[in-house]
């Protein structure tokens, strides 16, 4: 399925991402390159339309912006109201996240003895991109601020076909430090 809802400036982003994903390398190399590419576009005020910035009062909202025709990558905007968060999960592919508006907080975990052990908490401000490569990408993302947060996610998978980038949800107890 080909799906694309791009602003004119987002078309430039997709072209840059296409180049970054087709230059070769292992998943770590590609994700790092995509992260640098995305970071260079996060200050563009016209990247998203007003409709693509709309939140949902009940849960974070996902707007699929683009699915590459060959399924090699997808671009998604996530809109977060204060207090909204994901479940603890991992992904089917590498994942690059760039904070476009506000700040996101990500907690990473590892599984040990049928429990989730928190490893670190990262706060990502506007204009900063980071990446995760499976395995070892168990995490939760939330908006712990008092204002709207928007992030742009690039996945090395066809979200149009899969419907989600989540491979597994982790419903294990979390061990406190």
**Architecture of the domain made up of 3-169:** Sandwich (2.60)
Report the pLDDT value the prediction gives residue 139, as an integer from 0 to 100: 95
User: Between the CA atoms of 104, 59, 4 and 140, what dihedral angle is there, to the nearest 10 degrees?
Assistant: 40
Q: Does 89 count as an annotated binding residue?
A: yes
Closest CA relative to residue 131, chosen from 74, 166, 88, 93: 93
Has 63 been labeled as part of a binding site? no
Domain ranges of the chain: 3-169
Q: Which two tokens stand for residue 26?
A: 């292992």
Q: Is the pTM of this model over 0.75?
A: yes
The reported pLDDT for the residue numbered 107 is 96
At 8 the pLDDT is 87
Task: Please give the pLDDT value at position 5.
Answer: 60
Residue 3 has a pLDDT of 47
Mean pLDDT by 10 residues, the chain (177 residues): 67 96 95 98 95 96 94 97 97 96 96 95 96 94 97 96 89 84
Q: Is 91 annotated as a binding residue?
A: yes
Between CA 17 and CA 34 the distance in angstroms is 6
């Amino acid at each position: 399925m080909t799906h694309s809802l791009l602003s004119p400036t987002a078309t430039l982003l997709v072209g840059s991402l296409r180049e970054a994903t087709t230059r070769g390398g292992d998943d770590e190399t590609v994700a790092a390159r995509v992260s640098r590419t995305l970071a260079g576009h996060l200050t563009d005020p016209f990247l998203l339309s007003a409709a693509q910035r709309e939140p949902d009062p009940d849960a974070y909202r996902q707007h699929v912006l683009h699915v590459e025709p060959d399924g090699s990558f997808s671009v998604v905007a996530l809109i977060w109201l204060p207090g909204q968060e994901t479940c603890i999960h991992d992904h089917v592919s590498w994942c690059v996240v760039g904070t476009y508006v506000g700040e996101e907080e990500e907690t990473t975990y590892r599984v040990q003895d049928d429990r989730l052990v928190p490893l670190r908490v990262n706060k990502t401000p506007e204009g900063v991109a980071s990446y995760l490569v499976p395995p070892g990408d168990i995490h939760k993302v939330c908006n712990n601020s008092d204002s709207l947060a928007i992030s742009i996610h690039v996945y090395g998978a066809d979200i149009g076909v899969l419907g989600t980038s989540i491979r597994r949800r982790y419903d294990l107890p979390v061990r406190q430090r």
